[in-house]
Amino acid sequence: MTELGAGRITLLRPVAAAGGTPTMATTPSRLIFNDVVAGSASAAKTVTVRNNGSGPLSISGLTITGTDAGQFRLVPPPTLPASVGAGQSLALQVVFDPTSAGPKRATLTVAGNDTANSQQTVALRGLGTNGLGGASEPSLQ
């Protein structure tokens, strides 16, 4: 803005819109576990949900689906809805607790209020093993 005759120029800076828009991202895209059948659950692995946007992100749903969904779980499951501020993140802890030997697969889906991408998925993969001892012990040869 210029005022004629006053010899002064006033510059205006745009103000960010109130509220802004959330942008949801998850890392990593896949978790891989290995655990013994009928033992305690594996060590927890972390999935990070990050809000890369300028407005608050509301996480409204966390679901584990797939053939072997019951072999994976969130510990402890967070209270929903969970709010993640702009530039902030939320850590989710996932464990694997196989009930039988062999490869297992499921998908963790994170749902939120990101209008461009309302769901993010993380592949969950695990290998249930019979463990050590007796006939299940691996050969040392």
Residue-wise pLDDT for 121-133, tens only, equals 999 999 999 876 5
Give the residues across from 24 on adjacent strands. Answer: 51
Classify strands 24-27 and 72-74 as parallel, antiparallel or unpaired: unpaired
Tens of pLDDT along 13-36?
554 445 689 999 999 999 999 999
| 3-state DSSP assignment of residue 135 | helix
| 3-state DSSP assignment of residue 55 | coil
**Token match 């969904």: residue?**
69
> What was the pLDDT predicted at 25?
97
> What was the pLDDT predicted at 38?
83
The 3 state secondary structure assigned to 72-123 is EEECCCCCCCEEECCCCEEEEEEEECCCCCEEEEEEEEEEECCCCCCEEEEE
Q: Within the chain, which residues score under 70 in pLDDT?
A: 1-19, 132-141
Q: Show Cβ contacts of residue 18 under 8 Å, excluding neighbours closer than 6 positions.
A: none
> What was the pLDDT predicted at 13?
59
> What was the pLDDT predicted at 39?
84
Cα–Cα nearest to 116, from 39, 6, 4, 24? 24
List, in order of start, the domains of the chain with CATH numbers.
Answer: 20-129 (2.60.40.10)
